[in-house]
Structure 1
Amino acid sequence: MSSLTMQNPVFVIYMIAAALMVLKLMGQGWVTVYRMLKVGSGWASPEDLRTGLINRHPDLAQLEINDYVDRSRRIHRNDLENIPAFLAVGLLFVIAGPSTLLAGVLMYGFVAARLLHTVAYTTQQSHEIRATLYTIGSVAVIVMAVYVLWVTLAL
């Protein structure tokens, strides 16, 4: 059986987890844009102050950091630091042939940790809570990478 088919339950787990994380990553950008438009602040670049359909009354103050917008930007940046590594090593992990249980725990654990990290960041929870959730996701990705190396080097 080929590893990258829908007959492989580990690949199906990866497909679901990867699709959720891509939607999360892309969606966070839209959340940031929504927040910028909602408050009319937190623009990222000087050229954003050009008059247009979106910004009819530009003001230099729009370039100032707005925590409501910047919080979403920080969540997005954190996702950009974590999700691509999961997507890459997750596919290698599938090819390495882990058990369905191990794949489910690590991949769905990563997804849950990222989603909960976003909730914690959005609701301004303490750094300790966010760091714990980051650590859970990070450890899941590290375990997948070590598993891939272990299987590959054992050949």
Structure 2
Amino acid sequence: MLENPVFSCFVFYSTLLILKMYIIAIITGQVRLRRKAFANPEDAMRHGGEQFCRTDPCVERCRRAHINDMENIFPFLFLGAIYSMTEPSLAVAKGHFLVFFLGRLVHSVAYLCALKAPTRSVAYTIAQVPCVSMVVQILMAVASFA
């Protein structure tokens, strides 16, 4: 499969996206430790006491960024894999994958750093364009078989 240049490109950008998700998870954990805001009593007890089993706005912002990634990156992983099988042009496919990756990267930075609106919304929308394009192309490719 990696001999297919489109699929290899997809694997490259997908791996970067998963790495970005891991980084956000690590950031969330570090913010929890720094803010002493733990989700589980046993973690709170280990780090100072039951009073630290609480929510915190900064931790919640990190968690929402991570959840938003899961809501958007997981569908991209499915769509990109199927799209890669439709034999698209390498340049067009690379454009789809790159735009999605950059859109999600900017979205995460905007979310974590609380950048001024509409930065996050624009990044989200830009990242959705290649997904919609891939959906249309997949449906056109398989329509004759349905």
TM-score (norm 2): 0.90
Match of 2:6 among 7, 10, 13: 10
Aligned position for 1:82 = 72
After TM superposition, the structure 1 = structure 2 runs for residues 27-106 of structure 1, keeping only pairs within 5 Å, are 27-41=23-37, 43-49=38-44, 51-52=45-46, 55=47, 57-60=48-51, 62-106=52-96
Residue identity in the other structure for 1:37: L
Q: Name the structure 2 match of 1:130.
A: 120
Shift of 1:46: 4.2
Higher helix share: 2
Q: Letter of the aligned partner of 2:70 in structure 1?
A: L
Deviation at 1:73, TM superposition (A): 0.8
Letter in 1 for 2:49: P
Structure 1 stretch displaced more, 89-98 or 145-154? 145-154
Is the contact made by 2:41 and 2:50 (CA closer than 8 Å) also made in structure 1?
no
Residue in 1 that maps onto 2:137: 147
Uncovered stretches (5+) of structure 2, i.e. residues with no partner? none
Task: Please give the alpha-carbon distance, in whole angstroms, between the structure 2 residues aligned to 1:108 and 1:143.
Answer: 13
What residue identity is the alignment partner of 1:109?
V
- What are the ranges of 5 or more consecutive residues in structure 1 without an aligned counterpart? none
Task: For 1:65 and 1:44, locate their aligned partners in 2 and report how far apart those are by CA, in whole Å.
Answer: 7
Between 22-31 and 87-96, the greater mean CA deviation after superposition: 22-31
Q: Distance in 2 between matches of 1:120 and 1:135?
A: 13
Deviation >3 Å, runs of 4+: 45-49
| Closer/same/farther in 2, CA of residues 46 and 127 from structure 1, 3 Å limit | farther
